[in-house]
A and B are shown apart, each in its own frame.
Chain A
Amino acid sequence: MNDHPGGAVLPGEAEQPQTGGWRTGFMPQVDLTQCVNCLLCWLYCPDDAVRLDGTTFVGFDERYCKGCELCAVVCPTNAIAMVVEPDGD
């Protein structure tokens, strides 16, 4: 609860629930030698879980990735594969 009238919520004050727990044991992994920085994975990810540095692909955000595989499907060079998660979560 905050004190803002009407229940107004400011993004800077609000938590972001970590939806990484939704994954069912698989997460995306990229082969950087194949990545051409097309940014399609960034666009298609419903959960903003593709990290960029400027317009360069950096990695996936495990805290939020729900494991939907759209990044792997959309990648034009098949650089992304879904792999079993190390901790078998």
Chain B
Amino acid sequence: MAIDTQRAQVLTGGEAVAHAMRQIDPDVVPVYPITPQTPIIQGFAKFVADGRATGEIVNVESEHSALSAAVGSALAGARTITATSSQGLALMAEIVYIAASLRAPIVMAVGNRALSGPINIHADHSDSMLVRDSGVVQLFAENAQEAYDLMVMAPRIAEHPDVLLPVLVGQDGFTITHSAEPVELLPDAAVREFVGEYSVPFSVLDLSRPSTQGPFAMPDSYFELRYAQTVAIENARRVIDEIAIEFAELSGRFHPAVEPYRLAGATRAIVVMGSTAGTVKDVVDALREEGDRVGLLELRSFRPFPREAVRRALADVRCIAVLDRSDSPGGRPALFAETVGAVYGGPPIVRSYVYGLGGRDVHPQDIRRVFRDVDGAGPETQYLGLRRNG
């Protein structure tokens, strides 16, 4: 994906997302600060203060209240966006599940950061993984341009009548949120037109049709009400790709749920989400120069997990290394578990690597090591970049 550097601005991922919010101009933005998402809310607040956006910012007293207020406003017929990271997302977690069950189409910008403890403010996917069973759509950006693009796409995915779910747009903390890159912004009017008008089927403010929302359900109905959410997120598979195509027509940039990179004829492949996909692309290019047949399958959508697309993309790859920027002590890391499930029954060997927790940098030599070792022996899950023996 080539960025027209003549038209690009130099922006961090956080700033780029703030611009996306400015252009979408949501009605209500309930927020609470946490590193490293703060550039997003600060950027947006400055736009409002300068009259460049009109959203009602609600500076709440905790993230739990931020998402609670977001549910209230989304169901009251107002387009609502919030932003958080790490402990903030953890504190929101109770409400993330409820927001999904109430079908509140909130867009949540996440500066992916490690969950405590110990407390750490750097890039890690454990915060998003905490809510992986909540029923929300989860997208991961590779760089600042994608963070912007996915934010612009997110309201269309969230608000689609067949979906109506919160959408998390994740970007690695600091690595993307605070690193400046060339980013091409769409014209303001183009974004406005792309996202369109917001509506929900039963607004709490529609006095002509009073509704009761957030019911108490006994065993005779909870199961069916929950299943309805599964139907919605399954619909999101199709919707994500439809919106990605529409966005590509507008911008020239295509971000489907999965993106194979030089997988053709690859004997070994890495599966990864987020900024490290960029590092892997560079290493793949270098190794291919040397005649080594390696490739990458980058995932942009973690929920819904694009299992068919993953299975097809990896069908001819003999050996797969799945890189997770989070762990699941006592179990399998999340992306690994999903990938294994997707390719089950097929030929490949699938190995798990946990990397970069708490912002630990991932270097090209680490990626080279993965490609070198993945078809050898070793434990099912390995830890990339971990210092052994203290």
Contacts and interface: CB of A to CB of B under 8 A. Distances in A.
B72 to A, nearest CB: 13
A7 interface: yes
A9 interface: yes
B117 interface: no
B103 A6 contact: yes
A4 B212 contact: no
Given A9-B215, A10-B210, A4 B201 contact: yes
A54 interface: no
A5 interface: yes
B208 to A, nearest CB: 11
Interface stretch (B191-199, B220-228, B325-333): B220-228
A51 to B, nearest CB: 22
Nearest to A3: B228
A5 B202 CA distance: 9
Question: Which residue of A6, A8, A14 has the most chain B CB atoms within 10 A of its CB atom?
Answer: A6
A6 B101 contact: yes
Interface residues of A, number: 10
B74 to A, nearest CB: 11
B6 interface: no
Contacts of A88: none
Contacts of B2: none
A46 B201 CA distance: 32
Interface residues of B, number: 20
A9 B212 contact: yes
B265 to A, nearest CB: 45
Contact of B103 (A1, A5, A10): A5
A17 interface: no
B299 interface: no
Contacts of B228: 5, 7
Interface string B77-108: 00000000000000000000000011110000
A86 interface: no
Interface in B198-239: 201-202, 209-215, 217, 221, 224-225, 228, 232
Contacts of B103: 5-6
Contacts of A4: 201-202, 211
Contacts, number: 43
A9 B101 CA distance: 14
Nearest to A14: B212
B347 to A, nearest CB: 41
A48 to B, nearest CB: 16
Given A6-B101, A6-B102, A8-B201, A1 B224 contact: yes
A8 B101 contact: no
A40 to B, nearest CB: 28
B221 A8 contact: no
Contact of A5 (B201, B209, B221): B201
A1 B231 CA distance: 15
Question: Which residue of B104, B215, B224 has the most chain A CB atoms within 10 A of its CB atom?
Answer: B215
A6 B213 contact: yes
A57 to B, nearest CB: 28
A4 B228 CA distance: 10
Contacts of B104: 6
B213 A8 contact: yes
B121 interface: no
A9 to B, nearest CB: 4
Nearest to B204: A8
Contacts of A14: 212
A2 to B, nearest CB: 10
Interface string A1-45: 100111111110010000000000000000000000000000000
25 contacts: A1-B225, A4-B202, A4-B211, A5-B103, A5-B164, A5-B228, A6-B102, A6-B104, A6-B213, A6-B214, A7-B101, A7-B213, A7-B221, A7-B225, A7-B228, A8-B202, A8-B213, A9-B211, A9-B215, A10-B209, A10-B211, A10-B212, A11-B210, A11-B212, A14-B212
Interface of B: 101-104, 164, 201-202, 209-215, 217, 221, 224-225, 228, 232
Q: 6 tightest CB-CB pairs across the interface, nearest first?
A: A6-B103, A5-B103, A6-B102, A9-B212, A8-B202, A7-B225
